[in-house]
Structure 1
């Protein structure tokens, strides 16, 4: 099965719908996109056969899908700004509000995501600072045909920090496992956190594995320190 020896980042950029499969099995295709599928499955202790079968089915359909790997930097940046930057700025304030409410009302519950609101506030601050640097410095340079390795490396390092923040978010939220009889606010909070996690991973993937890659030479700039 040749697919097993391709990197997660490569599969995510070549097969439409692959990221959904990776999300389902909690396979890191953004910062961990350099790992082969076989390595990632071994690390998680997952059976390769059903996952490869699902990716193979998706691969047969992917020719009609939107392929960002062949898009211009300008088109990809416009997509990232609209699909992710704008959405994150809407997502986080509401998630912070919901988290505060859950922590206030259910503070005495062992399942309460104590400290989550404060963590989300920190994530919001760091992500906003990161996006502003991209919007004001890096993206205009990439749009003009430049490929500044310094700013790219800085953004990749910050992507690793965002990944760590997501992991801590999941710890605080008990891996998004709702307690029996959870209220609507709690349910909405965890649904929103799951969406944020998937969106931010897709966001990082598009930048690390496509936008930051020198597609003219085939050499990538995905963070070499991702282990």
Structure 2
């Protein structure tokens, strides 16, 4: 029995990960397979393989986290290989869009899939498919805006008895689809254009809610930072890293700065995640102790009063490095100027980095100028009392 080759992806330089995996895959003969090992879910690679090579492989998790992910990738025998069909929904007359998509879906055999391309989120179609066909498909976003949405829709495979494999659609979505259908709601995404004259609120200015974070209690401000800005980093770091790698792989030969950006982005995001972990596990609990002690002198504390300046200085240094990285990203990309050959993923990457930068600057300002300053002041006050 032949030994299956194993590739430890964690040992590869970030910008070389996907190209190396593709080389392994392309070297396979039909029916051959190899295994990849990674420290996070390599699902973005699955989408890229589908997009670049088509539906000519199987993807099987041998181990699925939380610390280690092992996936076996097998190139299908020649007779089983079939390119995934694509449907450009924007080219279809509006009234025929959903009927055409249903025709494509109904023509699928169990286990087959197709990809729809649209200029807005086709989520209404998702609910219509549930309402009309039930839990017999999977719905995977390959690209999620802002200008282009790509969704791969697959009909569930059958089991050994010929029955459909149980679906993965949430009960909540199934109930929502049933409710919408019962109410006679039309599932069309956008059938009519917005008419300014028909909007009774047109011309009215709605002020965004404002708040003065400088007046917040520090423990409340900490919770706000964790649940808003720290969570934003956690939610977006992996996808931003994967997107940077993907764009570098496709455009790095003609735009070499993307290879540098890909490598630096990985370290930038890892440093940020480490910074948020140190704050949440060490500094923030200490600041909350200080606040509690200020409110009630009998509160017991576990840190050395008067020792807050040093760890805060270290974290502020991390912030300086992050700000310098963001500045260098702008220099590297000529202030995020898109080249003429930029694809939608290229455009989306630059938009997401700028969005990430805006959130991080607000995040750093809240910590450096309000939280840290006030925490040091409170710590100094407690030190005078002891």
With the shorter chain as reference, the TM-score category is 0.5 to 0.7
State which of 212, 228, 243 in structure 2 corresponds to 1:98: 243
2:319 — aligned with what? 159
TM-score, with normalisation over the residues of structure 1? 0.63
Residue in 1 aligned with 2:342?
182
* Displaced runs of 4 or more, over 6 A: 215-218
Q: Which residue does 2:212 correspond to in 1?
A: 67
> How many pairs align?
157
Partners of 2:287 and 2:375 within 8 A in 1: no
Q: 1:123-154 CA distances to partner (integer Å, 9 max, x unpaired)?
A: 11111111111011110111122671121111
TM-score (norm 2): 0.38
Which residue, 86, 107, 116 being the options, matches 2:231? 86
Residue 107 of structure 1 corresponds to which residue in structure 2?
252
C-alpha distance in 1 between matches for 2:320 and 2:212: 25
Give 1 or 2 for the bigger CA radius of gyration.
2
CA gap 1:125/1:73 in 2 versus in 1, 3 angstroms: same
C-alpha spacing 1:95/1:174, structure 2 compared with 1 (3 Å):
farther
More RCO (CA 8 Å, sep 6+): 1
Question: Deviation of residue 108 (structure 1)?
Answer: 2.6
Cα distance change of structure 1 residues 173 and 95 upon mapping to structure 2, 3 Å threshold: farther
Compare the two structures and name the one with the higher strand fraction: 2
User: Which consecutive residues of structure 2, in runs of 5 or more, have no partner in the other structure?
Assistant: 1-206, 292-305, 379-386
Unaligned runs of 5+ in 1: 1-60, 219-227
Deviation at 1:77, TM superposition (A): 0.7
Seen in structure 2, the aligned counterparts of structure 1 residues 135 and 216 have a Cα distance that, compared at 3 Å, is closer
Give the alignment's Cα RMSD to 1 decimal: 2.4
| TM superposition shift of 1:171 | 2.5
